[in-house]
Amino acid sequence: MLSRLLVTLQFALIAALAGPWGAPDAGAWVAVLTRVPAVLPIGGGIALGLWALGVNRPGNFNVRPEPRPGGHLVTTGPYRFIRHPMYLAVLLFAAGLVLGDVVPWRVAAFIALAAVLHAKAAIEERLLRDTHPGYADYARRTPRVIPFLHL
């Protein structure tokens, strides 16, 4: 139940950030995407997300924090540097959306999204430790979400 709630919140917050709410016209996306501070994290998020998907094939990962039955632990590609590259990809993309139109509610939505992903990661970490014997060692040597920063 908690997992489904977190996933629902995650997608609702992403949709809220991605929408042109309060924008003066339909060209709001064009305005966001022409701002260099917005384009860099959006592009980085998309690239990282595609890299992670290429390494961790569909059928092995789950949008909910529960590991898929029979799934295997991936420690290559971006997973060499961080344990949750998809979460970082989402945060980068969302940060770009915020930078494209910095208003207080978008900043609040970004903070809420980061909190939701943190909660998902905590659940996922516990379940991965239970499912994969090598996960504890992997977690000790690999940062959670931010490369080179063990938090």
Question: Does 23 score more than 70 pLDDT?
Answer: no
Q: Is the pLDDT at 38 greater than 70, yes or no? A: yes
pLDDT tens, 111-125?
999 999 999 999 999
Q: What's the mean per-residue pLDDT of the chain? A: 88
Tokens of 118: 């943190």
Buried b (16+ CB within 10 A) or exposed e, 7-45: bebbeebbebbeeeeeeeeeebeeebeeeeebeebbebb
Q: Is 58 helix (H, G, I), strand (E, B) or coil?
A: coil
Q: Is the pTM of this model over 0.75?
A: yes
